[in-house]
A and B are shown apart, each in its own frame.
Chain A
Amino acid sequence: GAGVSQTPSNKVTEKGKYVELRCDPISGHTALYWYRQSLGQGPEFLIYFQGTGAADDSGLPNDRFFAVRPEGSVSTLKIQRTERGDSAVYLCASSSSAAYNEQFFGPGTRLTVL
């Protein structure tokens, strides 16, 4: 079956530009997570959606980062006024709602800010 997909796989942008990263979770998964993974590090939590609402956005580093999931399926991570420090791999994961369930990860979007 189809797994979690993310587009684009790579994104190169210039400092100060706006970017959108898309995540298409596994059908039927109500929980969706965004993570950021820097080189040599583990995934760092950014935001968690349960359905359409952001249940926990405490990991977003600042107000330049925003994410939406308007219909409870596809999610978009939006970064305004990108900075070189935003360069990382952005991972999306989904799971069914039960707390004991593991997450299924997408392949990630590699963002490079020049």
Chain B
Amino acid sequence: AQSVAQPEDQVNVAEGNPLTVKCTYSVSGNPYLFWYVQYPNRGLQFLLKYITGDNLVKGSYGFEAEFNKSQTSFHLKKPSALVSDSALYFCAVRDMYQGNFNKFYFGSGTKLNVKP
């Protein structure tokens, strides 16, 4: 079965420190992986994606993520956190196995709190 796990409901980090938000996935075929951010009372905003190629992908607002096939992970990272990064982050996967690829599967979200 297809699934996405975000093992941490909440991540707390001090401003200026590096941050990591974890995501692991389970699919039948090749994964297309995405990260979205959700601010209060706003829609989900796209941050970055992995489709193929270089395992390290860079996205908006200084975020990056590393695809690790052997660990089936796609952790979101940023070298230096900002208070304005505080939001809810969602990992999503599209399973490119035939019959599954119409759907996107989302994790339950991780709330990132960046303290000044």
Contacts and interface: CB of A to CB of B under 8 A. Distances in A.
A and B bind:
yes
Interface of A: 3-4, 33, 35, 40-45, 48, 55-56, 58-59, 91, 93, 99-100, 102-108
Contacts of B44: 43, 91, 93, 105
B43 interface: yes
Given A99-B94, A99-B96, A100-B32, A43 B45 contact: no
Given A42-B4, A48-B102, 8 more contacts: A43-B104, A45-B104, A48-B103, A58-B103, A91-B44, A99-B96, A100-B49, A106-B43
Contacts, number: 56
B105 A45 contact: yes
Nearest to A100: B51
B50 to A, nearest CB: 10
A43 B106 contact: yes
B103 A103 contact: no
B35 to A, nearest CB: 10
Contacts of A4: 43
13 contacts: A4-B43, A33-B104, A35-B106, A41-B108, A42-B4, A58-B103, A59-B103, A99-B101, A100-B32, A100-B51, A102-B46, A105-B36, A105-B43
Contacts of B94: 99
Interface residue SS majority, chain A: loop
B74 interface: no
Interface residue tally of chain B, by bracket?
Answer: 20 to 34
A3 B45 CA distance: 11
Nearest to B35: A102
Contacts of B51: 100
B9 to A, nearest CB: 8
Q: Which interface residue of B6, B49, B92, B103 has the most chain A CB atoms within 10 A? A: B103
